[in-house]
Chains A and B, each alone.
Chain A
């Protein structure tokens, strides 16, 4: 009995040790970023080691006052939320169709949708640039919204579809005999029942959109459409050289909202990720 108790305690200790190490590995860069962001610029590039960092809001003031960071933030938020909204509006009916109706080529269509995700983005970069130029949408938040939505649409559709496949068919049969139309079944029965899936898909889409860089750089050429991720690039050139503390702070600010959202909904998210992975 005694030995059993020891081994159990040992294994618990081991578990904490492993998870603690893992957490440290994940968190150190974040903490480092934050510490860089909150120090004066000279201190960051000095070759001598510093034991007591100096706290400074230089970078903070700089990004808000010298740079239109509020605007970049607004662009990011608008493009990201807009794109997720577009994704949901398109993906929910598409996923429903793929999950429920029988028609020729259904599985091929489903696979095609997913396969767009496997393509290297650079391949379509140039056509997309010309497309938006002809549409007169270059350097607008609208273009970013559309591009983010397009990038994420396949994944969002796929995740939502996998959740829909898990809903017993009897539920829809019941709604049908109760007199509901297909649209009402979708809206009043299916969508509420897969809310965790919708949240999961939205968050994953948001994370991809926040981190998107290539297309944003391509489309945004002035602060008119700059987002947080592209704004980072602004701090590397110009007469001031690389402004590390501003970069670090902006990166941290871009990271924070995602981190908080994931923390809030992590229960849904982990279930959603494994479901999306196993099913389909």
Chain B
């Protein structure tokens, strides 16, 4: 229910940059996901929005109001912490109820609200336990319940599903999306899991080494990556990135020869193509190599092939089988090739 703006926000500790030059507008009711590897500044950005960390420079606005200097308890946000941060001496029930007590929600509503929140995260049976008697996944769900028990202006979730097993994680993803839609609360969500980002986000903010790499919808991030980092971070397996050179409108690298009509001499470049945009073919293809690994998973077969010294991932048909070291040819979808600058990694459009 709140609009959040980050204006040139920076955070540094001495020589260490936590976050650098972040500009971002988050619309009301939007679900924004910060995606990036560990240590890239996701938590720091989130803590600054929460008011737990003061930016070294720049401004954070909520509904147009400058929040610099406003204490965390006065910002009306609810946060799920990466380390759960459950109160060890209180039961799960008391933990979930704590924000209601602190925010002076009428006592008569507490029980119903706590139970509803516990139900959403499937924790009803464990309400009497202390956090010390819970597994990692259960603690994480208790932390989530404590955040969704009331209606704040903003939800901040720092890797709230990182400790759940795959099945529960998928279930909770759907749950979180529903909770957010039903409560219509602006949400900032941090993860290093690109699937989570793709499935949950209205918009994804990809970060790396304290800086934003790209902001866009999941489709934009997937179809139109701004640089090799984003391209290599999204997708499972991620985009293949092959270094080579363009001469006379043809990209060449060991085992790979791709005509790129209309491209002049660009010197050293990186060619990118996604494993799913390839097809194994019998009668010629741009990519030639030999089979390095075949992994049937049921719905798709992952083929790793070796071209020159490089390993390339292909999503092949699920019936595809081939002996190791046998030669294969792969055709690339000419409409779905990406070129990046060999030096900077930036996309060449």
Contact = CB atoms under 8 A, between A and B. Distances in A.
B146 interface: yes
A113 interface: no
A189 B93 CA distance: 15
Contacts of B156: 177
Given A177-B50, A179-B73, A170 B99 contact: no
B83 interface: yes
A193 B85 contact: no
A150 B103 CA distance: 39
Contact of A173 (B85, B88, B89, B90): B85
A174 interface: yes
A168 interface: yes
Contact of A177 (B52, B82, B86, B87): B52
Interface residues of B, number: 26
Given A170-B83, A180-B73, A181-B73, A175 B89 contact: no
B226 interface: no
Interface residues of A, number: 18
Interface string B73-104: 10101110111011111100000001100110
A174 B81 contact: yes
Nearest to A171: B85
A189 B83 contact: no
B22 interface: no
B72 interface: yes
B89 A195 contact: yes
Which of A173, A174, A184, A192 has most B Cβ within 10 Å?
A: A174
Given A176-B73, A177-B73, A171 B102 contact: no
B333 interface: no
Query: Looking at A170, A178, A180, which has the most chain B CB atoms within 10 Å of its CB?
Result: A178
B88 A174 contact: no
A118 B87 CA distance: 37
Contacts of A193: 87-89
Contacts of B73: 176-181
B81 A170 contact: yes
B219 interface: no
Contacts of A175: 87, 98, 102
B63 interface: no
A180 B89 CA distance: 16
A171 B87 contact: yes
A174 B102 contact: no
Given A178-B99, A180-B102, A173 B87 contact: no
B220 interface: no
Contacts of B72: 173, 176-177
Nearest to A173: B52
Contact of B85 (A170, A181, A192): A170
Interface of B: 47, 50-52, 71-73, 75, 77-79, 81-83, 85-90, 98-99, 102-103, 146, 156
Given A174-B146, A178-B102, 16 more contacts: A168-B85, A171-B88, A174-B79, A174-B81, A176-B72, A176-B73, A177-B72, A177-B77, A178-B73, A178-B78, A178-B99, A179-B103, A180-B102, A181-B73, A192-B90, A193-B88
